[in-house]
Amino acid sequence: MSQDKTPPPPLPDNAPTPRPNFIREMVADDVASGRFGRSVCTRFPPSPTASLHIGHSKSLVLNFGLARDFGGRINLRFDDTNPFTEDIKYVNAIKDDIRWLGFEWDAEFYASDYFERLYEIALHLIRGGKAYVDSQDEEAIRAGRGTVTTPGTNSPDRDRSVEENLALLARMKAGEFPDGAHVLRARIDMAHPNMIMRDPLLLRIRHAPHYRRGNAWCLYPLYDFAHGLSDAIEGITHSLCTLEFKDNRDIYEWLVREAGFETPPEQTEFARLQIDYTVLSKRKLLRLVTEGHVAGWDDPRMPTIAGLRRRGVTPEAIKQFADDVGVARSDARTELAKFEHAVRDDLNMRVPRVLCVVKPLKLVVTNYPEELVEELEAPYYPHDVPKEGTRLLPFCREIWIDRDDFMEDPPKKFFRLAPGREVRLRYGYLVTATDVIKDASGEVVELHCTYDPATKGGNTPDGRKVQGTIHWVSARHAIACEVRLYDRLFSIPDPDAVDEGKDFLSALNPDSQVVVPNAYVERSTAGDAPGSAYQFERTGYFKHDVDASATAGKPVYNRTVSLRDSWEKAKGKG
RNA sequence: UGGCCCUUCGUCCAAUGGCAGGACAGCAGACUUUGGAUCUGCGAAUGGUGGUUCGAAUCCACCAGGGCCAACCA
C-alpha cells in the first residue's frame, strides 16, 4: 500500500476549488496509489448525431476538470459508429461548442479510425470461441433474447466453427452481404441475468456513406463494441458516463479483458443532469428541431449550448451551474431557479445597465418646455459593481414608460405611477401623474404628468423620499427595437410526466417565446454590435441577437433571464 | 417472474462509525435613484422496521418508494 506516498498535485493557484464528489475522490485515490501506472486520462465521447446541450456541460466540466486538476490529459473522441445518423456538421458544431465553453482537448480521435483494430479484435474473439456470426434476422435475434424475466435461447448459429465464422466475417467485411444479412455477436450467456450480456451484437453491416470512411467500409461496430475498446486503445484511465450505462459496464469490462488490455480503463457512472421545465435528451431535442417546434438547434429556448449562447448565457454561468449542481449517483432533477441564479449572478457583474421600455405608454410632461432637450448623465453600472462608464440620456417633454408602471387604481404597496402619485424617472426627474387619457374603449393611451425642476437627475434636494423609481426613454430619441421574451420551453416540471397516450410535445409551453415588435431602447445603444449584452433596468438581462431576421431592420434583443421580481411575488399573496 | 442502481431540508449536493453542513428556493429585516444587487437573521431533512455498536445518515437484514435494462441507438 502506497496511499500516503504520492499526494495529488496541487491545484493551479487561481483555479476555484471544485466541489468534492465521489468521482474526484476516486481519481485522487487512484493517483495516490499509482493504480494505473500512468497519468490520469479522461475523454469526452460525443456521437456526432446532435448538438451538445447543457447536460453535456456537466460531463465536460467533470472530465476536463479532472484532467486539469490531476495533471492529466483529455481526449475528444467522436464515437461515430452509425453512418445513418452521423453528420460532419455535428462534429463541427460540437467542437465549436466545447471551445466556446473554454475547454481545450489534448487530442482528437474518432472511433471510426479504430474500425480496422476492432476488426482484428473481432477475429481474436472468434478464434477464442468468444464470438460468432449470427445469420438470423433482426426479429429472430430479438425473440431469442428473452425478456427481463425469462432467459433467452441460443441462436442456431451459435456453435458455428471458428473457420466458418472467420470466413463469414471476412465476406461481411468485403461487402458481399446486404445490410442485416449477418451480425457478429459475442458468445457469452443467453440466460445471463443482465440482458446486455445475452450475446450482445458487436458488428453489423451498413452500406451507407460515412462522413469519414466514405463507402469503403461497411462493418460498423455497435456502441458496446466500440466504446470500451476505444477507451482502452487510447489509454483512458477513467471512463465516466451516465447512470443508464451501468448495465453496459459488464460488457465493457468483458471486452477489454478478452482483448487483453493490461490496465483497463474503469467505467464509473454518475447521474445525468435533468432540469425542470426542459428536456435534455438528444432524441427529444432532435424531434423539437426536425418537427419544427423550435427554429433550430440554436433557438434561444433550447437547452443546447448553441441556444444558450444565443440566448445570452455565458460560458462562465454554465460552468458555475454545472459545479453548483454537483455530481452524484442519485437520479435527480434540478430546479430552474438554480440555473437562473447562476446566469444572473454572472451577468450582474458583467454587463452594463441600459433603459428599455418593452410595453410603451406615452407620458407627456406638461410643464416641460416643448423644445427643450436635456442630456442627463447616467452611470452604466450600479454602485456595487466595480466598473466605470457613463452615457447621456436625452430628456424631453414626451417619453415612453412601461404600461406596467402605471395603475389607475393601484393596491396599497404599488410604488409606481398612479393618478396623483409621484415617482422618480431613473436619472431623470420626479414626476406626478395629473391626467389619464383614454381612447373610446376606455384603454389608457397617454399619461400627463408634471415634473419638479428641482429634481434633475432624480435627486431630491429637500430630502423627500420617493418610493418608486421607474425606467423610461425619450420618445423623440429612443430606438425602436424588437424584444423577444423567452420563458420555459415546457409548462410542467417533468415534460415526460404526461398522461397515457401523450408525449412530451403535449407539454410544450405555448408562451415560451413572446415577440414584442415595438419596444424602445435608449439612444446610447445605437449601432451596437450583435452579441452586445445588457441589463435592461428593472426588466432583465438581454442580448442583441446575433443573426436575427429583424422586423423592419430593427435590432432584436433576446431576454436571457428576467430579473428577480419581489413585486410579482408580493402581488400573488394579495 | 429477473438483474442492477438509488433514497439526507422544498430542490441539488456534503458529512467516509463520533456535534447532520453548504448552495439554490422560501420567510423576516437592513440598505437602496433598479421592487435589482448586497448584508443580517429565521425556518427547513437522514423513507420505514429491526439488528450490529459505547455510539449509525453511514454497516447488516427486511420492507417501501424511485430509476435503468428486453434497438442491428448511444
CATH classification of the domain holding A457: 2.40.240.10
The per-residue b/e assignment along A276-286, b for 16 or more CB within 10 angstroms, e otherwise, is bbbbbebebbe
Q: Sign (positive/negative) of CA torsion A241, A246, A251, A253?
A: positive
- A 289-318, residues with C-beta < 7 Å of strand B: none
Other Cβ atoms closer than 10 A to A2: 9
Q: Which of residues 413-442 of A touch strand B (CB under 7 A)?
A: 413-416, 424, 426-427
Domain span at A393? 356-470
Measured from Cα to the C1' atom, the residue closest to B70 is A147
For residues A255 and A249, what is the distance between their CA atoms, to the nearest angstrom? 10
The CB-side HSE value for A567 (13 A sphere, CA atoms) comes to 14
For residues A228 and A164, membership in a common domain is answered with: yes
CA of A44 to C1' of B69 (A): 24
Based on the domain organization, do A396 and A527 belong to the same domain?
A: no
ipTM greater than 0.95, yes or no?
Answer: yes
Distances (CA, A) of A386 to A7, A344, A389, A439: 39, 16, 10, 46
Whole-angstrom Cα distance, residue A396 to residue A376?
A: 11
* Chain B, protein-covered positions (CB within 7 A): 1-8, 10-16, 22-27, 33-38, 66-74
- Considering all nucleic acid strands, name the nucleotide whose C1' atom is nearest to the C-alpha of residue A563: B36
Predicted pLDDT of residue A3? 35
The secondary element (H helix, E strand) that includes residue A238 is strand A238-242
pLDDT at position A14: 44
**Dist. CA A543–CA A531, nearest whole Å:** 6
User: Is there a domain that residue A1 lies in?
Assistant: no
Separation between Cα atoms, residue A246 and residue A243, nearest integer Å: 5
Residues A438 and A366 in one domain: yes
Q: How far is the CA of A128 from the C1' of B44 (A)?
A: 60
Positions 257-276 in A, CB within 7 angstroms of strand B: 271
**Residues 175-234, chain A, CB closer than 7 Å to nucleic strand B:** 179-180, 183, 193-196, 201, 204-205, 220, 222-224
- Residue A487 resides in a domain: yes
Regarding pTM above 0.90, the answer is yes
Q: Measuring from the CA of residue A568 to each C1', which nucleotide is nearest?
A: B35
- A330 beta carbon < 7 A from strand B? yes
| Strand B proximal to A324 Cβ, under 7 A | yes
Phi, psi of A99 (to 5 degrees): -65, -40
For residue A550, what pLDDT is reported? 62
Residue A7 in domain: no
Q: How far is the CA of A298 from the C1' of B32 (A)?
A: 38
pLDDT in tens, A116-133: 999 999 999 999 999 999
Q: Which residues 512-571 of A interface with strand B at a CB distance below 7 A?
A: 535, 537-538, 563-567, 569-570
* Pair A77, A179 in one domain: yes
Whole-number Å distance between alpha carbons of A359 and A384? 28
Do A465 and A370 have their domain in common? yes
Residue A6 lies in a domain: no
Q: Are residues A333 and A460 in the same domain?
A: no
In a domain, A161, yes or no: yes
For residues A39-55, b (16+ Cβ closer than 10 Å) or e, as one string? Answer: ebbbbbbbbbbbbbbbb
Select from A470, A492, A523 the last residue of a domain.
Answer: A470
Cβ of A464 near strand B (under 7 Å)? The reply is: no
Cell numbers describing residue A234: 487510447
User: Is any atom of nucleic acid chain B found less than 7 Å from the CB of residue A49?
Assistant: yes
Q: Kindly state whether residue A555 falls inside one of the protein's structural domains.
A: yes
In Å, what is the separation between the CA of A552 and the C1' of B12? Answer: 45
Domain boundary among A443, A470, A497: A470
Residues A360 and A343 reside in one and the same domain: no
Q: Are residues A191 and A43 in the same domain?
A: yes
Domain boundary among A470, A498, A516: A470
Given a cut of 50, the residues of chain A with pLDDT beneath it are 1-15, 574
Q: Are residues A212 and A134 in the same domain?
A: yes
Same domain as A498, residue A405: no
Give A197's DSSP letter: G
Number of domains in chain A: 3
Place of cell 495516490: A32
Q: Give yes or no for CB of A243 within 7 Å of strand B.
A: yes
Residues 6+ apart with CB under 8 A from A207: A175, A178, A179, A215, A218
Query: Nearest nucleotide by C1' from A407 CA?
Result: B35
- Measured CA A204 to C1' B27 distance, in angstroms: 60
Which residue blocks in A73-161 are alpha helix, DSSP H?
Answer: 88-100, 115-127, 138-144
Report d(CA A188, CA A163) in Å as an integer. 19
Give a yes or no: residue A17 inside a domain: no
Positive or negative, the CA dihedral A306, A311, A316, A317 is negative
Measured CA to CA, the distance from residue A323 to residue A386 in angstroms comes to: 25
CA of A377 to C1' of B39 (A): 29
**Single-letter residue type at A224:** D
A452 and A333 part of one domain = no
Give the CA A316 to C1' B32 distance in Å.
Answer: 28
Question: For chain A, what's the residue count?
Answer: 574
Q: Looking at residue A5, what is its pLDDT?
A: 33
User: In DSSP terms, which residues pair with A363 in a beta bridge?
Assistant: A399, A447
Which CATH number fits the domain that encloses residue A216?
3.40.50.620
Q: In chain A, which residues from 10 to 39 place their CB closer than 7 Å to nucleic acid strand B? A: 19-22, 25
CA of A405: nucleotide with nearest C1':
B35
DSSP A507-555: GB-TTSEEEEEEEEE-GGGTTPPTT-EEEETTTEEEEE-SS---GGG--
A10 CB-contact burial (10 Å; exposed 0-12 / middle 13-18 / buried 19+): exposed
- On whether residue A10 sits in a domain, the answer given is no
- In this complex, the nucleotide whose C1' atom is nearest to the CA atom of residue A329 is B6
Which of helix, strand or coil describes residue A45? coil
| Chain A 474-513 residues in 7 Å CB range of strand B | none
Distance A299 CA to B3 C1' (A): 41
Question: What's the rounded Cα separation, in Å, for the pair A117 and A113?
Answer: 8
The CA–C1' separation of A344 and B11, in angstroms, is 18
Residue–nucleotide distance: A330 CA to B47 C1' (Å): 15
- As a whole number of angstroms, the distance between CA A388 and CA A75 comes to 41
Q: Which nt has its C1' nearest the CA of A84?
A: B73
**pLDDT tens digit string along A458-501?**
999 999 999 999 999 999 999 999 999 999 999 999 999 998 88
Q: Do A451 and A399 lie in a common domain?
A: yes
**Which pLDDT score is estimated for A62?**
98
**Helix and strand element counts for chain A (H, E):** 13, 25
